[in-house]
Structure 1
Amino acid sequence: MPIDAAKALAAEPRTGEITWTPRDVQLYHLGIGAGANPDKQDPATDPDELRYTLESRLHVLPSFATVAGSGSPGVISGLSMPGVDVDLARVLHGGQSLVIHRPLPVHGTATATGRIAAVYDKGKAAVLVMRTEVADADGPLWTNDAQIFVRGEGGWGGDRGPSARLDPPAGDPDRTVDRPVRPDQALLYRLSGDYNPLHADPEFAKVAGFDRPILHGLCTYGMTLKAVVDTLLGGDVTRVRSYTTRFAGAVYPGETLRIRMWRQEGAVRVEVSALERDDAPVLADTVVQHT
């Protein structure tokens, strides 16, 4: 079969050096909508937005870790690990979890170590968990788990893995914000390193089962974390400790994300939907742990 779970799990980790600069951080922030916050009267020059876009005030949203270095081990590189040979058109990003060990610097050089941490048999699909651990000279920076969903590659009788879902948040959300997705947003976001043609090539998108290119799940992930930080964490990116989500549905450029947030002790529960498609869910089981 195309996925040899034992071989994938036994493979040696891949280690490489990654670097990033303020320009990389700014490009990522622009790709997730910085400088275009509809809640601001003049978002391009608003002080809260300039923290994401102006080098003299720059701080780093923790979700930047998912693209830092752009060539670091991740979803695409995980598909070339020993024991894994799959068709990219059958691949979807199923979920993402990120643990931040300390605030991300504006520029840095670090070592990224990536490996397949788990392989699950979901029957009609397989799920690969690609773990990336990143550290610099001062110690660990972040740990990143990407859940890679591969359609048509299950059914070998392996471990089904965890399947529990979180209970829905209780009561009305504490905050609800809408964030428009620009028609060109996927084209801009992909410049941070994810060149999967699913997000740009209409013909490839049709082969993959979509009417047109879809937005990167990690772009929705970043837009959502920015909304949480800006509205409930006082704009302080250093308060984020971890961030987990399940990608529950596609987002199309030009749509509007409705982001609902519930305060909990030391955490924010989040649900995200596509407003124009009758609130179709796009992010579920989403938790931001914070100080």
Structure 2
Amino acid sequence: MPIDAATALAAEPRSGRLAWTAKDVQLYHLGVGAGANPDKDSPATDPDELRYTLESRLHVLPSFATVAGAGSPGVIGGLSMPGVDVDLARVLHGGQSLTLYRPLPAEGEATATSRIAAVYDKGKAAVLVMRTEVADADGPLWTNDAQIFVRGEGGWGGDRGPSVRREPPAGEPDRVVERPVRQDQALLYRLSGDLNPLHADPEFAKLAGFERPILHGLCTYGITLKAVVDTLLGGDVARVRAYTTRFAGVVHPGETLRVRMWRGDGEIRVAVSAVERNEAPVLTDTVVTTHP
């Protein structure tokens, strides 16, 4: 069997060094839409966007943790772990969870320790949970969990895993915003470290079952968190404690994302859909946990 759950779970964690600069942070922010002016009639950059794009004012969007050091091991790293031997064309990023222990510095060095934390049998697919814990000289910075969905690799009778589905938020959302996705968004975002050809090569995308390249799920993840921070958290990135989502559908470059947000007690529930495809779900079970 291409996935040997026992071997994957028993494998020794892998550790490596991460380093990033303010330029890496700025490139990531541009990759998730920073600097775009919502007022199409004005050529000037929105002054609020300078906190993401100007080095003298730089605040780090917490989702940068998914690409810091040219990308945490995440999906690609999970596929190179002992006990895992699968075809990249069968792999999808199923979900992502991020826990933050303090605000991310604009420049830094840290140690990342990664392991397969769980392997679940979903029948027609397997799900690997790749956990990466990152710490610097001052202590823990963040923990990333990437849920890796591998089509055609389930059915061995293993643990199906916990249900992550939540009831949809009740009532009308507190805020609704739209975020356009540029035609070249995936090409720009991939420069932060995720070079999977699914997001750039039309022929590879067809082999994976898509009519054309699709946007990185983590790019949508970053676009969405930025929308929440900018609209409900007053632009204060330090208020984000944790951020989790399930990738429910693809996004094509050139589409428009509709981001719906509901305030809760210490959390913000979010749902994201593709406007041009009759509100097709993109992100579901999405929660931003906040500090007061």
State TM-score, norm by structure 2.
Answer: 0.98
Name the SS for the 2:145 alignment partner: strand
Offset at residue 72 of structure 1 (A): 3.5
Contact kept? 2:239, 2:290, Cα under 8 Å: yes
Measure how far apart 1:200 and its partner are.
Answer: 0.3
Residue in structure 2 matched with residue 79 of structure 1 by the alignment = 79
Q: What does residue 216 of structure 1 align with?
A: 216
Q: Structure 1: give runs of 5+ residues left out of the alignment.
A: none
How much does 1:70 deviate? 1.4
Percent same amino acid among aligned pairs?
A: 84
Partner of 1:228: 228
Contact kept, 8 Å, 2:61 with 2:237, in 1: the verdict is yes
Deviation digits for residues 237-265 of structure 1 (CA, Å, limit 9, x no counterpart) = 00000000000000000000000000001
CA–CA distance in structure 2, aligned partners of residues 114 and 161 of structure 1: 20
Paired position in structure 1 for 2:114: 114
Distance 1:44 1:67, change over 3 A: farther
The match for 1:204 is: 204
Shift of 1:43: 7.5
Task: Name the CA distance, whole Å, in 1 between partners of 2:63 and 2:131.
Answer: 15
* Aligned residue in 2 for 1:253: 253
Equivalent residue for 2:274? 274
Tell me what 2:147 maps to.
Answer: 147
Partner of 1:142, secondary structure, is: strand
Cα offset, 1:165, TM superposition:
1.1
Change in Cα spacing, 1:277 to 1:107, as seen in structure 2 (3 Å) is: same
Q: What does 1:54-65 correspond to in 2, within 5 Å?
A: 54-65=54-65
C-alpha separation in 2, matches of 1:272 and 1:114? 29
Determine the C-alpha separation between the residues in 1 that align with 2:117 and 2:79: 13
Aligned to 1:283: 283
Instruction: Give yes or no for the alignment of 1:239 onto 2:239.
Output: yes
2:112 counterpart SS class: strand
Contact 1:93 1:247 in 2 (8 A): yes
Q: Distance in 2 between matches of 1:66 and 1:106?
A: 14
Matched to 2:231, the amino acid is T
Contact 2:66 2:72 in 1 (8 A): no
> Residue 159 of structure 1: SS of its match in structure 2?
coil
Instruction: Name the aligned partner's letter for residue 235 of structure 2.
Output: G
Question: 1:73: Cα distance to partner?
Answer: 2.0
Contact 1:217–1:247, Cα closer than 8 Å, also in 2: yes
Once residues 42 and 57 of structure 2 are traced to their aligned partners in structure 1, the CA distance between those partners, rounded to angstroms, is 18
Report what 2:15 is aligned to.
15
**One-letter identity of the residue aligned with 2:53:** T
Gaps of 5+ in 2: none
Separation in 2, partners of 1:42, 1:104: 32
TM-score (norm 1): 0.98
1:47 to partner: Cα distance: 1.9
Name the amino acid aligned to 2:77.
S
Query: What are the Cα deviations for residues 86-136 of structure 1, in whole angstroms up to 9, with x where unaligned?
Result: 000000000000000000000000000000000000000000000000000
Count of aligned residue pairs for this structure pair? 291
Following TM superposition, by how much is the alpha carbon of 1:37 offset from its aligned partner in structure 2, in angstroms?
4.2
